[in-house]
Amino acid sequence: MKKFNVELKALLSKVEQKLVKSVHEKPSKEALDRLAIFAGFQDWDSFRKQLHESPDDNASNTPKA
């Protein structure tokens, strides 16, 4: 019974380490692309570009009459 408890603790420790590691990993490019598509963008890069574009950047590209 004692050996079983030691093995169980070791197993639980490994599982906990994997869970903690997976929480701290960055999402994959595919996952980010899916989120961006869900939000109405073509891909993650276009989402980031739009997000970081300032309103002044858009005004400078507008033709003046």
User: How does pLDDT run across 2-25, given as a tens digit for each residue?
Assistant: 777 788 788 778 888 877 777 777
Q: What are the pLDDT digits (tens) for 40-50?
A: 999 999 999 99
Instruction: For residue 19, give Cα distances in angstroms to 9, 22, 23, 30, 45.
Output: 15, 5, 6, 21, 28
Q: What is the DSSP string of 35-52?
A: HHHHTT-SSHHHHHHHHH
> Smallest Cα–Cα separation from 46: which of 33, 27, 59, 29?
33
**pTM score of the predicted model:** 0.48
